[in-house]
Structure 1
Amino acid sequence: MSDPMTQDPAPYGEPAEKPSGLRSWDAVKLVYVLYLVGFAVPLCALAGVVIAYAKRDEAAPAEASHMAFQIRSFWVGLGAIVLGAVLTLVLVGWLVMAIWAVWAVARFVTGLLKALDGKPVADPDGYGFTA
Protein backbone atom coordinates (compact mmCIF):
# COMPACT_ATOMS: atom_id res chain seq x y z
CA MET A 1 0.00 0.00 0.00
CA SER A 2 1.53 3.34 -1.00
CA ASP A 3 1.52 6.38 1.22
CA PRO A 4 0.01 9.44 -0.57
CA MET A 5 2.21 11.77 1.50
CA THR A 6 5.41 10.34 0.01
CA GLN A 7 4.28 10.25 -3.62
CA ASP A 8 5.12 13.06 -5.98
CA PRO A 9 1.70 14.37 -7.13
CA ALA A 10 3.00 15.59 -10.50
CA PRO A 11 6.03 15.02 -12.70
CA TYR A 12 9.04 17.21 -12.07
CA GLY A 13 8.62 20.77 -13.28
CA GLU A 14 4.83 20.66 -13.54
CA PRO A 15 2.57 22.13 -10.85
CA ALA A 16 0.49 19.60 -8.95
CA GLU A 17 -2.68 21.61 -9.52
CA LYS A 18 -3.19 24.83 -11.41
CA PRO A 19 -5.47 27.18 -9.46
CA SER A 20 -8.33 28.17 -11.72
CA GLY A 21 -8.59 31.83 -12.55
CA LEU A 22 -5.53 32.94 -10.60
CA ARG A 23 -3.89 34.57 -13.59
CA SER A 24 -7.08 36.35 -14.60
CA TRP A 25 -7.64 37.71 -11.09
CA ASP A 26 -4.06 38.98 -11.07
CA ALA A 27 -4.70 40.69 -14.40
CA VAL A 28 -7.88 42.29 -13.05
CA LYS A 29 -6.04 43.70 -10.04
CA LEU A 30 -3.13 44.85 -12.18
CA VAL A 31 -5.46 46.77 -14.51
CA TYR A 32 -7.04 48.62 -11.57
CA VAL A 33 -3.60 49.55 -10.26
CA LEU A 34 -2.48 50.67 -13.72
CA TYR A 35 -5.60 52.82 -14.05
CA LEU A 36 -4.88 54.50 -10.71
CA VAL A 37 -1.23 55.06 -11.66
CA GLY A 38 -2.55 56.40 -14.97
CA PHE A 39 -3.48 59.65 -13.25
CA ALA A 40 0.24 60.39 -12.99
CA VAL A 41 1.48 58.43 -16.03
CA PRO A 42 -1.30 58.27 -18.66
CA LEU A 43 0.38 55.49 -20.66
CA CYS A 44 -0.25 53.15 -17.73
CA ALA A 45 -4.00 53.47 -18.30
CA LEU A 46 -3.48 52.57 -21.95
CA ALA A 47 -1.48 49.50 -20.89
CA GLY A 48 -4.31 48.60 -18.52
CA VAL A 49 -6.99 48.60 -21.19
CA VAL A 50 -4.76 46.53 -23.49
CA ILE A 51 -4.37 43.92 -20.73
CA ALA A 52 -8.14 43.92 -20.06
CA TYR A 53 -8.86 43.32 -23.75
CA ALA A 54 -6.19 40.60 -23.97
CA LYS A 55 -7.36 38.65 -20.91
CA ARG A 56 -11.14 38.95 -21.17
CA ASP A 57 -11.65 35.90 -23.43
CA GLU A 58 -9.95 33.51 -21.00
CA ALA A 59 -11.58 34.94 -17.87
CA ALA A 60 -14.23 33.26 -15.76
CA PRO A 61 -17.57 35.15 -15.45
CA ALA A 62 -16.64 37.02 -12.25
CA GLU A 63 -13.33 38.16 -13.70
CA ALA A 64 -14.94 38.98 -17.05
CA SER A 65 -17.38 41.30 -15.28
CA HIS A 66 -14.42 43.27 -13.93
CA MET A 67 -12.75 43.39 -17.33
CA ALA A 68 -15.94 44.64 -19.03
CA PHE A 69 -16.21 47.24 -16.24
CA GLN A 70 -12.58 48.27 -16.75
CA ILE A 71 -12.91 48.55 -20.52
CA ARG A 72 -16.09 50.64 -20.23
CA SER A 73 -14.44 52.83 -17.59
CA PHE A 74 -11.50 53.48 -19.91
CA TRP A 75 -13.57 54.49 -22.94
CA VAL A 76 -16.09 56.59 -20.99
CA GLY A 77 -13.20 58.23 -19.17
CA LEU A 78 -11.39 58.98 -22.41
CA GLY A 79 -14.57 60.54 -23.78
CA ALA A 80 -14.96 62.66 -20.66
CA ILE A 81 -11.35 63.83 -20.90
CA VAL A 82 -11.73 64.80 -24.56
CA LEU A 83 -15.03 66.58 -23.82
CA GLY A 84 -13.48 68.31 -20.82
CA ALA A 85 -10.47 69.40 -22.86
CA VAL A 86 -12.70 70.92 -25.54
CA LEU A 87 -14.91 72.60 -22.95
CA THR A 88 -11.95 74.22 -21.19
CA LEU A 89 -12.26 76.83 -23.94
CA VAL A 90 -15.46 77.98 -22.22
CA LEU A 91 -14.14 77.22 -18.71
CA VAL A 92 -16.63 74.46 -17.81
CA GLY A 93 -14.18 71.80 -18.95
CA TRP A 94 -12.39 71.95 -15.62
CA LEU A 95 -15.62 70.98 -13.91
CA VAL A 96 -16.11 68.07 -16.34
CA MET A 97 -12.55 66.89 -15.65
CA ALA A 98 -13.01 67.18 -11.87
CA ILE A 99 -16.22 65.14 -11.99
CA TRP A 100 -14.48 62.56 -14.20
CA ALA A 101 -11.56 62.28 -11.75
CA VAL A 102 -13.89 61.62 -8.79
CA TRP A 103 -15.93 59.16 -10.87
CA ALA A 104 -12.83 57.31 -12.05
CA VAL A 105 -11.16 57.04 -8.65
CA ALA A 106 -14.40 55.80 -7.08
CA ARG A 107 -14.83 53.15 -9.79
CA PHE A 108 -11.23 51.97 -9.67
CA VAL A 109 -11.02 51.77 -5.88
CA THR A 110 -14.38 50.02 -5.44
CA GLY A 111 -13.56 47.68 -8.32
CA LEU A 112 -10.18 46.83 -6.82
CA LEU A 113 -11.77 46.15 -3.43
CA LYS A 114 -14.31 43.79 -5.04
CA ALA A 115 -11.53 42.07 -6.98
CA LEU A 116 -9.52 41.58 -3.79
CA ASP A 117 -12.61 39.93 -2.26
CA GLY A 118 -13.11 37.79 -5.38
CA LYS A 119 -16.55 39.26 -6.06
CA PRO A 120 -17.90 40.19 -9.51
CA VAL A 121 -18.99 43.67 -10.53
CA ALA A 122 -22.76 44.00 -10.10
CA ASP A 123 -23.35 46.11 -13.23
CA PRO A 124 -20.32 46.05 -15.55
CA ASP A 125 -22.22 47.95 -18.26
CA GLY A 126 -23.33 50.76 -15.96
CA TYR A 127 -22.02 54.28 -15.59
CA GLY A 128 -22.29 54.55 -11.79
CA PHE A 129 -19.61 55.61 -9.36
CA THR A 130 -19.13 52.15 -7.80
CA ALA A 131 -18.35 48.66 -9.00
Structure 2
Amino acid sequence: MNESPDNRNVIEPNQKPDITLPIVVYALFLAGVVSGGLTAVIGVVIAYVYRGQGPDWYDEHYRYQIRTFWLSLLYFAVSGILTLVMIGFMTWLLAVVWLVIRCVKGIKRLQEQRAPDNVESWLI
Protein backbone atom coordinates (compact mmCIF):
# COMPACT_ATOMS: atom_id res chain seq x y z
CA MET A 1 0.00 0.00 0.00
CA ASN A 2 1.12 3.51 -0.72
CA GLU A 3 0.83 6.48 1.59
CA SER A 4 -1.05 9.32 -0.03
CA PRO A 5 -0.32 12.97 0.80
CA ASP A 6 -3.16 13.07 3.34
CA ASN A 7 -1.73 9.99 5.14
CA ARG A 8 -4.58 7.64 4.18
CA ASN A 9 -3.92 4.19 2.83
CA VAL A 10 -4.71 3.90 -0.86
CA ILE A 11 -5.28 0.59 -2.59
CA GLU A 12 -3.26 0.03 -5.72
CA PRO A 13 -5.30 -0.80 -8.85
CA ASN A 14 -4.12 -4.43 -9.08
CA GLN A 15 -4.44 -5.10 -5.34
CA LYS A 16 -7.64 -6.51 -3.86
CA PRO A 17 -8.90 -4.64 -0.79
CA ASP A 18 -9.20 -6.51 2.49
CA ILE A 19 -12.92 -7.11 3.03
CA THR A 20 -12.54 -8.22 6.66
CA LEU A 21 -13.45 -4.89 8.25
CA PRO A 22 -16.72 -4.36 6.32
CA ILE A 23 -17.70 -7.95 7.16
CA VAL A 24 -17.00 -7.21 10.83
CA VAL A 25 -19.31 -4.17 10.58
CA TYR A 26 -22.09 -6.34 9.13
CA ALA A 27 -21.51 -8.86 11.96
CA LEU A 28 -21.67 -6.07 14.55
CA PHE A 29 -25.00 -4.97 13.10
CA LEU A 30 -26.34 -8.51 13.40
CA ALA A 31 -25.03 -8.80 16.95
CA GLY A 32 -26.83 -5.54 17.70
CA VAL A 33 -30.12 -7.41 17.67
CA VAL A 34 -29.13 -9.25 20.86
CA SER A 35 -26.95 -6.52 22.39
CA GLY A 36 -29.66 -3.88 22.29
CA GLY A 37 -27.88 -2.00 19.50
CA LEU A 38 -24.59 -1.45 21.32
CA THR A 39 -22.50 -3.37 18.79
CA ALA A 40 -24.34 -1.66 15.94
CA VAL A 41 -23.17 1.70 17.27
CA ILE A 42 -19.59 0.41 17.24
CA GLY A 43 -20.14 -0.83 13.68
CA VAL A 44 -21.45 2.49 12.39
CA VAL A 45 -18.51 4.33 13.98
CA ILE A 46 -16.15 2.00 12.12
CA ALA A 47 -18.06 2.62 8.88
CA TYR A 48 -17.83 6.38 9.31
CA VAL A 49 -14.11 6.23 10.07
CA TYR A 50 -13.12 3.95 7.19
CA ARG A 51 -15.38 5.21 4.39
CA GLY A 52 -13.62 6.85 1.47
CA GLN A 53 -10.50 4.69 1.68
CA GLY A 54 -11.02 2.22 -1.12
CA PRO A 55 -12.47 1.67 -4.56
CA ASP A 56 -16.00 2.89 -5.27
CA TRP A 57 -17.68 -0.50 -4.77
CA TYR A 58 -15.90 -0.85 -1.40
CA ASP A 59 -16.92 2.60 -0.20
CA GLU A 60 -20.52 1.92 -1.24
CA HIS A 61 -20.60 -0.82 1.39
CA TYR A 62 -19.72 1.66 4.11
CA ARG A 63 -22.39 4.00 2.78
CA TYR A 64 -24.87 1.10 2.74
CA GLN A 65 -23.91 0.19 6.31
CA ILE A 66 -24.32 3.75 7.56
CA ARG A 67 -27.71 3.99 5.90
CA THR A 68 -28.71 0.58 7.29
CA PHE A 69 -27.82 1.75 10.80
CA TRP A 70 -29.92 4.91 10.64
CA LEU A 71 -32.87 3.19 9.01
CA SER A 72 -32.78 0.35 11.54
CA LEU A 73 -32.67 2.92 14.35
CA LEU A 74 -35.82 4.48 12.90
CA TYR A 75 -37.58 1.13 12.40
CA PHE A 76 -36.75 -0.11 15.91
CA ALA A 77 -37.81 3.22 17.47
CA VAL A 78 -41.15 3.07 15.66
CA SER A 79 -41.53 -0.54 16.80
CA GLY A 80 -40.84 0.52 20.38
CA ILE A 81 -43.55 3.16 20.19
CA LEU A 82 -45.98 0.73 18.57
CA THR A 83 -45.59 -1.75 21.43
CA LEU A 84 -47.97 0.55 23.29
CA VAL A 85 -50.73 -0.56 20.92
CA MET A 86 -49.55 -4.19 20.86
CA ILE A 87 -48.40 -4.34 17.23
CA GLY A 88 -44.85 -3.26 18.00
CA PHE A 89 -43.75 -6.82 18.56
CA MET A 90 -44.70 -7.70 15.00
CA THR A 91 -43.02 -4.62 13.54
CA TRP A 92 -39.92 -5.34 15.67
CA LEU A 93 -39.77 -8.83 14.17
CA LEU A 94 -40.11 -7.35 10.68
CA ALA A 95 -37.28 -4.90 11.45
CA VAL A 96 -35.04 -7.77 12.58
CA VAL A 97 -35.78 -9.73 9.39
CA TRP A 98 -35.12 -6.58 7.32
CA LEU A 99 -31.77 -6.05 9.07
CA VAL A 100 -30.67 -9.67 8.64
CA ILE A 101 -31.56 -9.67 4.93
CA ARG A 102 -29.69 -6.39 4.32
CA CYS A 103 -26.59 -7.64 6.13
CA VAL A 104 -26.57 -11.00 4.35
CA LYS A 105 -27.04 -9.33 0.96
CA GLY A 106 -24.26 -6.88 1.81
CA ILE A 107 -21.85 -9.65 2.81
CA LYS A 108 -22.64 -11.59 -0.36
CA ARG A 109 -22.00 -8.56 -2.58
CA LEU A 110 -18.84 -7.75 -0.64
CA GLN A 111 -17.47 -11.23 -1.28
CA GLU A 112 -18.21 -10.73 -4.99
CA GLN A 113 -16.34 -7.40 -4.78
CA ARG A 114 -19.38 -5.52 -6.03
CA ALA A 115 -21.34 -2.61 -4.61
CA PRO A 116 -24.56 -3.46 -2.77
CA ASP A 117 -27.83 -3.16 -4.65
CA ASN A 118 -30.33 -0.46 -3.75
CA VAL A 119 -28.15 1.59 -1.42
CA GLU A 120 -30.76 4.35 -1.34
CA SER A 121 -33.70 2.01 -0.71
CA TRP A 122 -35.69 2.12 2.53
CA LEU A 123 -36.58 -1.52 1.96
CA ILE A 124 -34.41 -4.48 1.12
For Structure 1 versus Structure 2, the TM-score category normalised by the shorter chain is 0.7 to 0.9
Contact preservation (8 Å) 1:29, 1:116? no
In structure 1, C-alpha distance between the alignment counterparts of 2:120 and 2:63, rounded to whole Å: 7
2:68 to 70, 73, 84: 73
Counterpart for residue 98 of structure 1: 93
In structure 2, C-alpha distance between the alignment counterparts of 1:34 and 1:60, rounded to whole Å: 23
Unaligned runs of 5+ in 1: 1-16
Length, aligned pairs only: 112
In structure 2, C-alpha distance between the alignment counterparts of 1:80 and 1:122, rounded to whole Å: 20
Per-residue CA deviations over 1:7-56 (Å, capped at 9, x if unaligned) read: xxxxxxxxxx9774624x32211111111121222311111000001111
Greater Cα radius of gyration, structure 1 or 2: 1
Counterpart for residue 117 of structure 2: 122
- SS of the residue 2:39 aligns to: helix
In structure 1, C-alpha distance between the alignment counterparts of 2:49 and 2:91, rounded to whole Å: 30
Counterpart for residue 3 of structure 1: none
In structure 2, C-alpha distance between the alignment counterparts of 1:77 and 1:55, rounded to whole Å: 20
In structure 1, C-alpha distance between the alignment counterparts of 2:16 and 2:48, rounded to whole Å: 16
1:36 maps to 2:2: no
Q: Over aligned residues, Cα RMSD in angstroms? A: 1.9
Contact preservation (8 Å) 1:63, 1:120? yes
Q: Which runs of 4+ in 1 moved over 4 A?
A: 17-21
* TM-score using structure 2 length: 0.81
Counterpart for residue 7 of structure 2: none
Unaligned runs of 5+ in 2: 1-10
Percent of aligned pairs with the same amino acid:
29
- SS of the residue 1:124 aligns to: coil
Contact preservation (8 Å) 2:105, 2:116? no
